[in-house]
Structure 1
Amino acid sequence: MDKPFNHLIICLTFVMPVAALSGCSGPNDSPEQDAVMSISSCTARGDDGQEMSVSEFGMFVTDTAGNLYPDNIRVLNRSGKWTFAEISLSDGDKGIYAYYPYNPSFSGGKMGLDARSQTDYLYSERTMVSGNAPSASITLYHLLSKVTFRMPAAVTAVRVADYSYSASYSLLTGSLEIKPEKGTISSGTGSLLLYPGDSPAMHVALVAGGHPYDFVMPAAAFRSGKEYVYTLKTAGNGVEIEDITITGWQPGGNYEGTITEKEQERQ
């Protein structure tokens, strides 16, 4: 699956002091024996370009061979310091898979998704840490696709019925499984967050300038981290599509040096 844009969670790397097993270092001691993982403070920028603090996220950990530990670890920012259950690196390198927002019910390296909540789910690729490099620098990416509707009057509500709203995303494999449960998803803005991938035609109801409209949005192939802007015009008592543009969720020109587009397909 495509992973084009990070969410601008930039973790500045620093190395925490390594605790010694004894008061003095012997000739056979090495940093790998006592190292523990650390994370620096993180910031995020929203769609409006304003910085905002990130107070918590979740992560899963694998060992050197890629085997998953069972813990779903909560990472919290306390007084400017990131705190989480200690992760020792004395027994080998570790792979870190981070996600947002933290959910204690997630397990097995998978995120349970519900499009009815219109949550901006974020995920990371694997970040490796080791005894020689114990500090993790983590980048999070948009998992969903953003679909925006524009009309001459402001769109203040959007609703889609009969949508497959439940899904599961594997952080380790990058696979998205959409489940058969269907229901209504809605937003109090002119945008909806939808699952990436092939989407059938959908009946869309919206409110613009205080007036209700509806139309059929044709089948489309959505990609993670992309924004699809549908420009609509009135036609009789309804609306029709005038133009469709596809952009990065957050245009790179607004955040020089902080956004990286990733065109590689993730299978």
Structure 2
Amino acid sequence: MEKKYFFTITMILSLFCACSDSERCINEGSEEFLSVAQVGFALKSSDAASKSFFEEGDQIGLYIYDSQGSGYRGMTYKNNSWALHAPVSVSEGYTDIYAAYPYNSQNDVATSFEIEHTSQTDYLYSDRYSVNSTNPVLSLTMKHALALIEFEFQWTDVSQAANLELIAIQGQGLYSKAKIDLITGKMEHLKGWNDPAVIYGWQLGSDHLNDGSKVSLMVVPCDEIENDGDIMIDFYTDNMKAHWPVPAGTRWESGKRYTYKVLIQERLLEIMDVRIEDWIDAGTDRISLPWYE
């Protein structure tokens, strides 16, 4: 059974007494406030690129909407618990909440958040969920905003196995920044941002590419590309440089993992197979890579 690459965060929201006049709260007339008492993963990712647990100091942003307006709150993971940066109150009326990781203290847009792939941050976000004073338990399913591109290497002669210098994905068909509207779920690419997504050998536990080695990196999702080579994938090892033009019609979606089986034999590198899973294109592609010294 293939693993599904998503996880669920369960947030138990506790009630407290009145907010002080100096605190800016949603529903200021209410005297009940929420805090995050517990966060737990229902499923952890096994690949090295994805985030599979929260660490001390990690922060999540909460986008909050009710009849009085909207707000943005951060919470930080400290001493095995979550602490809101400022109180949030709820009343009998419903309050809608979206979540996004990581928290951005500079965020001033109440309906969207920005993603990028140059830092290789695993951006996460949720759909809308509603709470009120009588229903304070919120279960959030966080989704991956980026697409995960994985390469599985095979060698016809294992004695030729090499050390990885880098893998880069770049081209005019690949944007490096985008905005996601949390209310509609739509993504908008930011024009003029086409920086490559790069993984270096030194960033891996081992840069040696054995038979069966896997290397993955994340990219901003792309629409169906029009021409072969609008996106290029560059493979650099200590004894090889090869470049593969991604074929026309390829589309990389949020929250999906695309596994490319890469066969290396003598002076030829080939893409043998593509698998698409949640983070399936049935069939096999065998495409020879041009060789460059």
TM over 0.5, yes or no?
A: yes
Cα distance, 1:248 vs structure 2: 2.4
- Please give the secondary structure, in 2, of the residue aligned with 1:224: coil
Q: Which residue of 2 aligns with 1:184?
A: 196
> Which of the numbers 164, 167, 176 marks the counterpart of 2:178?
167
Q: How many percent of aligned residue pairs carry the same amino acid?
A: 25
Amino acid at match of 1:39: V
- 2 CA distance for matches of 1:132 and 1:16? 11
**Which ranges in structure 2 are unaligned for 5 or more consecutive residues?**
20-28, 155-160, 205-214, 280-293
Partner of 1:261: none
Unaligned runs of 5+ in 1: 22-31, 250-267
Distance 2:11 2:62 in 1: 17
Matches within 5 A, 1:90-129: 90=91, 92-108=93-109, 109-129=111-131
Q: Secondary structure at the match of 1:139?
A: strand
Alignment check: 8 A CA contact 2:170 2:195 kept: yes
Is 1:10 the equivalent of 2:9?
yes
Offset at residue 208 of structure 1 (A): 4.8
Letter in 2 for 1:112: E
**In the alignment, structure 1 residue 248 sits paired with structure 2 residue 247:** no
Equivalent in the alignment of 2:141: 139
Deviation of residue 90 (structure 1)?
Answer: 2.5
Partner SS state of residue 138, structure 1: strand
Q: TM-score, normalised by structure 2?
A: 0.68
Residue identity matched to 1:8: F
SS of residue matched to 2:223: strand
CA contact (8 A) 2:197 2:218 kept: no
The equivalent residue for 2:82 is 82
Offset at residue 121 of structure 1 (A): 0.6
Preserved contact between residue 16 and residue 34 of structure 2 (Cα < 8 Å): no
Please give the alpha-carbon distance, in whole angstroms, between the structure 2 residues aligned to 1:74 and 1:20. Answer: 20
Q: Which whole-Å CA distance do the structure 2 matches of 1:119 and 1:51 have between them?
A: 12
Residue 204 (structure 1) aligned with residue 203 (structure 2)? no
Equivalent residue of 1:61, what SS?
A: strand
TM-score (norm 1): 0.74
Q: Could you tell me whether the CA contact under 8 Å between 2:60 and 2:76 is conserved in 1?
A: yes
In structure 2, what residue type is equivalent to 1:72?
Answer: Y
1:174 Cα deviation (Å)?
0.6
Counterpart CA distance in 2 for 1:155 and 1:194 is 23
CA contact (8 A) 2:92 2:133 kept: no
Structure 1 position 213 matched with structure 2 position 242: yes
- Residue 151 (1) aligns with residue 153 (2): yes
Tell me if structure 1 keeps the 8 A contact 2:107–2:113: yes
Among 227, 230, 237, which residue is 2:260 paired with? 230
Which string of whole-angstrom CA distances, capped at 9 and with x for unpartnered residues, describes residues 163-196 of structure 1? 3212111112111001222222211262221223
> One-letter code of the match for 1:10?
I
**Partner residue, 1:39:** 36
The answer to which of 121-130 and 48-57 deviates more is 48-57
Greater relative CO, 1 or 2 (CA 8 Å, sep 6+): 1
Bigger shift: residues 147-156 or 178-187? 147-156
Cα 1:145–1:68 shift into 2, 3 Å: farther
* Distance in 1 between residues matched to 2:18 and 2:108, nearest whole Å: 33
Number of matched residues? 232
